Structure 1
Amino acid sequence: MDLSCFKAYDLRGRVPDQLNPTLAEKIGRAYVEITGAKKVIVGYDIRLSSPDITEALSSGLMAAGADVYDIGLCGTEQVYFATSHYGMDGGIMVTASHNPKDHNGMKMVGPESRPISSDNGLNDIRDRVLEPFANAPEQGRYETLEVMSAYVDHLLGYIDAGSLKPMTIVCNAGNGGAGLVIDELEQHLPFEFVKVHHQPDGHFPNGVPNPILPENRTATADAVIEHGAAMGIAWDGDYDRCFFFDENGRFIEGYYVVGLLADQFLRKTGGGKVIHDPRLTWNTLDLVKAAGGEAIESKTGHAFIKQRMRDEDAVYGGEMSAHHYFRDFAYCDSGMIPWLLIAERLCQSGQTLSSLIDARIEAYPASGEINRTINDPPKVIAAIEAKYSVGAKSVSFVDGLSVEFDNWRFNLRMSNTEPVVRLNVESRADKALMEEKTEELLQEMDRLNTN
């Protein structure tokens, strides 16, 4: 049996050769045997293969003796929400997020929506799939569960509704599932939504919903300008990531959104801890300190950030990849809470999004993440370390290599999944220096790669 759909954090593969109903049924059985779950939330995204895979998964869960609570078509965060909110033993979301449309996958959590990844059960589930199964003495039950209203109530709890003012917001669901939530939230908010690619459609008539690809941003940016909107928001297919555009239609790097959200959240909580990734840090450190919080660095990746947030009892965690995590959301990532907080900030401050962001870009210009295919990543990173650690203020290995000087710093790390090295460079209020050092590092990497 082909089990190549099992990855480090989740399952993803092509349908039907890497993932299909037959395998999904066995995964359901294995999930129950490995975790011991008795009550499991199941939800699925808009992909055409999702209903069949979900039905087979549910059959497997029930055959192994677990009760299935089907929350239907939803986003990944609704499975997280329902699992923790209703005190379930676990949850499984059938989704391939922003992968090609002939793919599907699963994201799994245990009690309190703690992630299940390769180091805490996912590999055991994979190995168990290969063995024969016997039915449980008592079959599990199946019931549907309506979670949208409780979930929407929870989302609205993050903002002060009385401080909101009418404004126009462009929202691009990319024909994923986010539009269904916007339609529910709309009834409670004074905003006018301009809806782009709004209807859920697993055929993806406008391409796979992945706003991180520059070619997928035009529709949102154009609509912002055409309608004179205060901002634009775009989501990936299962809407656990959201991306922002200012009132000029400019795409905002996720790094600056982390700082803005940390600042807005700490204003509400009056302090607390914020977890961030090590790729770009100075802007976040600056804003968190100014808002009376404490910034703590964690290895990149949702399993690491969520665990560190639990360990530190952090109120918020943010990655520049547009994943934002909230303590009151079971330490999970949400693509809905961030835009609500930023809309609230625009209403409260009377400022434009560009004016909030421009000052930060000026203070800490950044290269954005640059990927390079490298034959021998460890060799190249070691050589860069040897060269640049001379005279450096600090060298850190929390995630890859981070080297800091007085007025610029960089992070260089290997991808977990492909032979590429990812570079991020930032400076203190010196764009020319940032650009010069970025170019210098890229040339050095090219030179080392050919030697």
Structure 2
Amino acid sequence: MEIKRNAFKAYDIRGKIPEELNEEMAYRIGRAYVDIFKAKKVAVGHDIRLSGPALQRALVKGLTESGCSVVDIGTCGTEQIYFATFHLKLDGGIMITASHNPQDYNGMKLVREESRPISGDSGLKEIEEKVVTGDFAPVSPDITPGTVTQVDILSDYIQHLLTYVDKTALKPLKVVVNAGNGAAGAVIDALEKQLPFEFVKVNHEPDGSFPNGVPNPLLVENRDVTAKVVRDTKADVGIAWDGDFDRCFLFDEQGNFIEGYYLVGFLAQAFLRRFPGGKIIYDPRLTWNTIELVEQAGGISVLCKSGHAFIKERMRKEDAVYGGEMSAHHYFKEFSYCDSGMIPWLLVLEIMGREGKPLSELLQERTACYPVSGEINSTVADAKAVIKKIEEKYTAGARHIERIDGLSVEYDNWRFNVRMSNTEPVLRLNVESKCDSKLMEEKTEELLAVIRS
């Protein structure tokens, strides 16, 4: 099988099967991982994609031939690999997943000890080079091949999830859960026995052929299913996940989609009640609501470049209690600073029970205070030239300019961030205003006209 570089991205490995990612590459990734990190024992698992088991067998062969033992946790979500790695005190973990990509894709997310991320600047480029060149240290005849042990971590993982909430505060809410035929269903089934919620299950059974479409709730056309069931069943809340459930997306009782941005400030306040004066990490795309809520709760807000590797590194450095991105990635100190798609909704439902208010009412003031455009992607021929054009047009008279991640420009009553994609010729735009939806919409259209001209 041909070996290509295409599947190696900034933060993970992801490509089309078999031309961009195949079993020979998976085997070589196992060899390279042990060569570089000297791992003795790692966790391995795969999501529900049909190509997962074959890729896992090849990966495990590469790992064990290099003398590394494998803890096989089977079909799982990405955060279960994170959990297994830090909970069992392993040297690392490898998750076989392509998250929300089409069904003919697969990939890998790799971590070291304590579930520290492996990305382009922390070992992934070196793995890529070894995989492409085949330049591995020879396997010494003195090396004892690693063993493979199948371990069921589900029960321990469920118990860990429940430590984030006060079960006595939970109320018997009706909750629509849409796993998108991904890996989340099994976790919901296990949690169901321990929670007072009535779950209405949609696209619940795992199916790697994705009979109801790719599990990506960020796509507007994919939200209608969950929203409709919430309204039809008169549910209190709706939750949808991507394929490997490291992100969750919420809908209020009216079926309205909740932008991930508003949950960052919402969850920050919840953690600051538990950890007064704690630090909260946030990304530069949308900021005002988060900063204000953290300040009101007596916490310290810390700006960080978006992307899981940057957020996790900064959280460790600052000893932050929580970090959130508007893209629905939420990070928790007690989860080894990793992101989880299960902890956020549990916390939200606890707050709903404690406050005795519907989700729409809990968020109504914040969505009115800081209306947002949502992230808008535009394909452009020369992203750098477009950003330069925007900079020339908008920075004069601005109150604050930030270049930590793309270009952020702030005025008294509105702000925007525009940034380049890591992997494609796309610019991503986010706009927010202070209590002025019309202004936000006008400025969004104005900026899009510049970007798309």
Give 2:107's match in structure 1, choosing from 83, 105, 108: 105
Aligned partner of 1:74: which letter? Answer: C
Task: Give the equivalent residue in structure 1 for 2:139.
Answer: 135
Task: Give the equivalent residue in structure 1 for 2:169.
Answer: 163
User: Structure 1: how far apart are the matches of 2:13 and 2:374?
Assistant: 28
User: Structure 1: how far apart are the matches of 2:387 and 2:334?
Assistant: 38
Task: Give the equivalent residue in structure 2 for 1:251.
Answer: 257
Q: Is 1:345 matched with 2:348?
A: no
Q: 1:275 offset after TM fit, Å?
A: 0.5
Give 2:246's match in structure 1, choosing from 240, 244, 249: 240
Q: TM-score, normalised by structure 2?
A: 0.97
Q: Is 1:354 matched with 2:360?
A: yes
Q: 1:444 offset after TM fit, Å?
A: 2.4
SS of aligned partner of 1:121: helix
Aligned partner of 1:11: which letter? Answer: I
RMSD: 1.0
User: Structure 2: how far apart are the matches of 1:159 and 1:88?
Assistant: 27
Contact 2:82/2:338 (<8 A) preserved: yes
Aligned partner of 1:173: which letter? Answer: A
Give 1:261's match in structure 2, choosing from 254, 260, 267: 267
Aligned partner of 2:103: which letter? Answer: K
- Aligned ranges for residues 39-54 of structure 1 at < 5 Å? 39-54=41-56
Contact 2:280/2:294 (<8 A) preserved: yes
Task: Give the equivalent residue in structure 1 for 2:62.
Answer: 60
User: Structure 2: how far apart are the matches of 1:178 and 1:445?
Assistant: 38
SS of aligned partner of 2:208: coil
User: Structure 2: how far apart are the matches of 1:179 and 1:168?
Assistant: 17
Label 1:53 to 1:446 Cα distance change in 2 as closer, same or farther (>3 A).
closer
1:193-248 Cα shifts (integer Å, max 9, x gaps) = 00000011111110111111111111111111111111000000000010000000
Q: TM-score, normalised by structure 1?
A: 0.97
Q: Is 1:431 matched with 2:434?
A: no
User: Structure 2: how far apart are the matches of 1:3 and 1:62?
Assistant: 24
Give 2:12's match in structure 1, choosing from 2, 6, 10: 10
User: Structure 2: how far apart are the matches of 1:19 and 1:373?
Assistant: 26
SS of aligned partner of 1:335: coil
Q: Is 1:419 matched with 2:406?
A: no
Task: Give the equivalent residue in structure 1 for 2:122.
Answer: 120
User: Structure 2: how far apart are the matches of 1:288 and 1:416?
Assistant: 29
Q: Is 1:373 matched with 2:384?
A: no
User: Structure 1: how far apart are the matches of 2:98 and 2:448?
Assistant: 32
- Aligned ranges for residues 273-422 of structure 1 at < 5 Å? 273-422=279-428
Q: 1:389 offset after TM fit, Å?
A: 1.4
Runs of 4 or more, structure 1, over 6 Å off, are none
Q: 1:132 offset after TM fit, Å?
A: 5.0
SS of aligned partner of 1:200: coil
Q: Is 1:226 matched with 2:232?
A: yes
Give 2:204's match in structure 1, choosing from 190, 198, 214: 198
- Aligned ranges for residues 25-44 of structure 1 at < 5 Å? 25-44=27-46
Aligned length: 447
User: Structure 2: how far apart are the matches of 1:445 and 1:177?
Assistant: 38
Aligned partner of 1:16: which letter? Answer: P
1:251-308 Cα shifts (integer Å, max 9, x gaps) = 1111111111111221222231110110110011111111111111110100011111
Task: Give the equivalent residue in structure 1 for 2:79.
Answer: 77
Name the % identity.
61
Aligned partner of 1:345: which letter? Answer: I
Q: 1:412 offset after TM fit, Å?
A: 1.1
Contact 2:226/2:238 (<8 A) preserved: yes
**Structure 2 unaligned spans of 5+:** none
**Structure 1 unaligned spans of 5+:** none
User: Structure 1: how far apart are the matches of 2:429 and 2:335?
Assistant: 31
Task: Give the equivalent residue in structure 1 for 2:219.
Answer: 213
